[in-house]
Chain A
Amino acid sequence: MLDLTPAEWTAVELSLRIAVVATACALPFGIAIGWLLARTNFWGKSVLDGLVFLPLVMPPVVTGYLLLIWFGRKAPIGAFLDNHFGIVFSFRWTGAALACGVMGFPLMVRPIRLALEAIDRKLEDAASTLGANRLWVFVSVTLPLALPGIIAGVVLCFARALGEFGATITFVSNIPGETQTVSALIYTLTQVPGGDAAAGRLVLIAIALAFAALVASEWLARRATIRFHGE
């Protein structure tokens, strides 16, 4: 049944790599933006709030198109990153990771923000009277107490990244071995005669991956909650 061809394995491996990198790179930004939205008040906060959630409500193909015209090799941001840091997104797997990170970002920020809002600020005051400066208060009290929310955000973003299709294929196309994820390969296979069997195998893989991510997240979140707040 799960007799995958090398090309199919490549797509699975690529999907996982892209999802992991996208989630890992999004996490620091997710915590920072979640913190800004939860804890601060500034001019333009509602604009930022809206911007963060835009990828959730826009058609993915629009997100992909915007990424293309901003992060393409000749586009303003893309050219800058290429010239100064040697980072290229267009038609690379890194571009797929960027698209997946952007698409998963709203799902990551929301639970982190809610977790940060729910923390008893008095515990942070207590930490500061015990000699912890603001950074240490954040690292030793705020972050651990927000951990269940952070785990939830990571899992949702990862799951979104794993299944992302529209923005990715618009931005970095569907290149075998580079940007052809499981979703993109399933799409390709459904477009060619006789591709049904292979597509079916990959569909099973996709379901299994999604299910594993869900179970892992439930387990992690329960452990974190028990540890901090009791059964």
Chain B
Amino acid sequence: MLAVDVEKQLGALRISVRFDAVGGVTALFGPSGAGKTSVVNMIAGLLTPDRGSIAVDDTVLFDAARGIDVPPHRRRIGYVFQEGRLFPHLSVRQNLDYGRRMSGRPRGAAEFERIAALLDIGHLLERRPRMLSGGERQRVAVGRALLMGPRLLLLDEPLASLDAAHKREILPYLVRLRDDAGIPMVYVSHTAAEVRRIATTVVRLDAGRVVAAGGLELLKDADVDGLD
């Protein structure tokens, strides 16, 4: 379980967010500028909150009062960025292997095969990231985050940089991931239709605050946009 209770002043935006996420896919849903990415960056350790605490299961990752701030490389939290952020100087295979190599875990061929099959990227392994389409790039980014053996997966608008066709291409993989991988996910999006497809829980953010938290019924009044 993920427990977030953080405050952070970012220019004019004051982020003050508190929510729990219990397994499945928790969507952080809200308009641009609501502070969604900042919250995820705080969970990953890339941004330090001014106050509060972050914990996954029994592990405290951040606690301002107790002076705990686990650095990002020890948090074991997978992060899929909006722009993929694959390493341009490494092949797809080396990108996928990066997390495992950094943590020094032995190579699990079975796990590698399973995730490559799940995301259908087995035929791309020897390519460089610049030779991939947008959709392929994001699938590799998801695979790279999964192969580090994360206890939690953060996805920050993973479809935002893709056109409609590629969005439709990726979503089924993410749904499959939710149903098969069993890793809790936090999914950031400002698109209601996308959230409806993937999320099990919804946390609505606006102007740095949680305005509602609950099930998919929270999306009812949200605008419908052209995803499907």
CB-CB under 8 A from B45, the residues of chain A are: 128-129
Q: How does the 8 Å CB contact mask read for B24-58 relative to A, with 1 for contact and 0 for none?
A: 00000000000000000000111000000000000
B102 pairs with A228, CB closer than 8 A: no
Chain A residue at minimal CB-CB distance from B77: A129
A126 pairs with B73, CB closer than 8 A: no
Could you tell me the distance in whole angstroms from the C-beta of A145 to the nearest C-beta in chain B? 6
A131 pairs with B99, CB closer than 8 A: yes
Contact of B87 among A127, A131, A136, A147 (CB under 8 A): A127
8 A Cβ contacts from B87-145 to A: 87-89, 98-99, 102-103, 128, 130, 144-145
Could you tell me the distance in whole angstroms from the C-beta of B82 to the nearest C-beta in chain A? 10
Name the prevailing secondary structure of the A interface residues: helix
B130 pairs with A123, CB closer than 8 A: no
B89 pairs with A129, CB closer than 8 A: no
CB-CB under 8 A from A81, the residues of chain B are: none
Contact of B98 among A125, A130, A230 (CB under 8 A): A130
Q: How many residues of A contact B (CB 8 A)?
A: 24
A123 pairs with B87, CB closer than 8 A: yes
Contact of B46 among A125, A133, A140 (CB under 8 A): A125
A129 pairs with B78, CB closer than 8 A: yes
B148 pairs with A131, CB closer than 8 A: yes
CB-CB under 8 A from A134, the residues of chain B are: 73
A130 pairs with B144, CB closer than 8 A: yes
Interface membership of B75, Cβ < 8 A: yes
Chain B residue at minimal CB-CB distance from A230: B130
B89 pairs with A228, CB closer than 8 A: yes
Q: How does the 8 Å CB contact mask read for A110-143 relative to B, with 1 for contact and 0 for none?
A: 0000000000101101111111111011001100
Interface membership of B23, Cβ < 8 A: no
CB-CB under 8 A from B79, the residues of chain A are: 126, 129
**Complexed CA–CA distance, A199 and B148 (Å):** 63
Given A122-B81, A228-B89, A229-B130, CB of A129 within 8 Å of CB of B44: yes
**Complexed CA–CA distance, A133 and B148 (Å):** 14
Could you tell me the distance in whole angstroms from the C-beta of A205 to the nearest C-beta in chain B? 37
Chain B residue at minimal CB-CB distance from A133: B73
Chain A residue at minimal CB-CB distance from B81: A126
The contact sample of 16 A-B pairs, CB cut-off 8 A, is: A122-B85, A123-B87, A126-B81, A128-B71, A129-B73, A129-B77, A129-B79, A129-B145, A130-B99, A130-B144, A130-B148, A131-B76, A131-B148, A132-B98, A144-B89, A230-B130
Given contacts A125-B46, A128-B71, A132-B102, 20 further A-B contacts (CB under 8 A): A120-B85, A122-B83, A123-B85, A125-B85, A127-B102, A128-B72, A129-B75, A129-B145, A130-B99, A130-B102, A131-B73, A131-B74, A131-B103, A132-B73, A137-B73, A145-B89, A227-B89, A228-B89, A229-B88, A230-B130
